[in-house]
Amino acid sequence: MKLSDRQKSIMKSLLESHDYQTTEQIARQLNVSKKTIYRELDELRNLLRNENIEFDSKIGAGVRIDLDQATRNQLTLKLATDSSLPLDQRRYEILIDLLQNAPQLTSIKKLSDYYFVSRSSIQNDLKYIEEWIHCYDLTLIRNSLGTGIDGREIDIRKALTTAIIKYHSGTTTMQTSASERIDADTRTILVQQFSEQVVVYVENLIHEAENQLHSVIGDPYYINILTHILILINRVRSGKQLDHKPNGINEVDLHVFRIAVEMSTKIKLHLNLEIPDSEIYYIYQHLDTSGYGIEPSISNKDIEFTNINSKVKEYCHDIIAAMSQVTDPQIVNDNYLKRYLLLHLHSMIGRQKYQIEISCPLLTAVKNDYQELFAKTVQAVSEITQRYYPQYHISEDELAYLTLYIQGSLEVVQLKKLRVIVVCSSGIGTSHLLMARIKKTFPTWEVVDMIAASKVNTLDQLPEKIDLIVSTVNIADYKLHIPLAFVSVLFNENDIKNVKSVLENR
């Protein structure tokens, strides 16, 4: 039985309790949305049927696992001791290894012995890998001499970057770097692939480049440029270098190009590694499209960027306008969205010109947790791109980042305009304490009134819409469709998380 870490956490919670648990309780424990729990429970039901284990669901009460104590203990032990390598993880480890050593060949026997699985299992893994690399115009070689990956060097690097960034080891992770610009899991994998010393050196190299750019490379791009330079070093060191000037470069930003040259010189001196001119151009391309230029603050005036052409600005304007029609009209007034989306689109069009792909580590989460918004973003951006840049195809990774920008704006807009009713029966003093803490945490909310629990079901008679009810008491006969969040009078961090979770699922 192969379960994800989240599914194991759900099972552990259900096995530890003999009582019913609601999806809201489980979601709160794992700090995810109820939609996510519903999806995971559906998958668990299908998986557990093969183990002759059924969920006991009861409307209004929740879900539980009805097992005798011996079976319960046995299943708990199995979950705790299941340290076998997950199938997806093994496939990705084989994939990364084949890409790192391409076009060098290995054997199925070596892979079988290394992972302690049958040759047929490795054969199935290779079928998956063959399909995966096909998207990068790469070929899986399987002949009497061995097994490996063949294709253009640039395509091997693109596939390797994507595989590393989207790969999760599931092992205990190291502490993140002082900058904390990449998550611990990703950093661990980079260290495993390239060594701690080289990773730290390249991080410092990028930091020095940022100082010369007088700006910070944005988080969506930082992990991609870091991984690209690490792969570049590894491949050149192995004698597998790019042998031609990349596409799309007709003229360069001399300041950025000088920084790329200086970075290659530092790599040569520090690692005793000669960087060819063709590789310097690729460093330049990644710097030039890395989203630098983001400042920490923003004025309330309309945003103008002299270095961004009018076509990209119109492209950005039309995307925001289209998304406002299918989400919330108020996002057109969000200056933060205008700024950061424009900067991303400017870099994105540059990446399209240079044929550079970036990977979004959150792609799967975005497609699952913001399924409807992602679909709307895909449709709107595809239609508008066809008008402005018909020669380009925007990848799902880029679209995932655009979805996150829109989602962030929607959350800000929704929080700003909420009209809230407070239900509290613990005395006038504590009621005002709760209201004060709500206003302090969400200063843009309008607390319309404070009422008794007995009057809640009369709120549908109010002439104006109420967006949220925050209550310190259990309302047993609650009948309204207005989202209801239960909190304590102290309105602590857990209460704030609960309120946000209710708003996400409304």
- Write the DSSP assignment of 37-74 as a string of letters: HHHHHHHHHHHHHTTT--EEEETTTEEEE---HHHHHH
Residue 259: what residue type? I
Reduced to 3 states (helix: H, G, I; strand: E, B; else coil), residue 306 is coil
pLDDT, mean over the chain: 82
Write the burial class of residue 365 (CB in 10 Å: 0-12 exposed, 13-18 middle, 19+ buried): middle
Reduced to 3 states (helix: H, G, I; strand: E, B; else coil), residue 450 is strand
| Terminal Cα-to-Cα distance of the chain (whole angstroms) | 34
Residue 21 has what DSSP assignment? B
Asked whether the beta carbons of 382 and 390 are under 8 A apart, the reply is no
Q: Which of 207-216, 303-312, 356-365 has the highest mean pLDDT?
A: 207-216
| High-pLDDT (> 90) share of the chain, % | 28
Mind giving me the DSSP string for 158-191?
HHHHHHHHH----SPPPPPPTT--S-HHHHHHHH
- The two three-digit tokens of residue 438, written as one number: 């709500």
- The two three-digit tokens of residue 479, written as one number: 């009948």
Q: Which of 161-175, 184-198, 259-273, 421-435 has the highest mean pLDDT?
A: 259-273
What is each CA distance from 499 to 371, 421, 438, 457, 496, in whole angstroms?
22, 13, 10, 20, 5
Residue 48: what residue type? L
Asked whether the beta carbons of 190 and 170 are under 8 A apart, the reply is no
Give the distance from CA 176 to its chain's centroid: 17
pLDDT in tens, 15-36: 877 788 888 888 888 778 888 8
What is the Cα–Cα distance from 506 to 503, expressed in whole angstroms?
A: 5
pLDDT recorded at residue 162:
86
pLDDT recorded at residue 79:
63
pLDDT in tens, 114-162: 887 888 889 989 998 998 898 888 999 999 999 999 999 989 998 998 8
Alpha helices of 238-356 — where are they, by DSSP H?
A: 254-271, 277-288, 310-326, 335-354
Asked whether the beta carbons of 288 and 254 are under 8 A apart, the reply is no
pLDDT recorded at residue 385:
95
pLDDT in tens, 455-492: 777 777 776 778 888 888 877 778 788 888 888 878 88
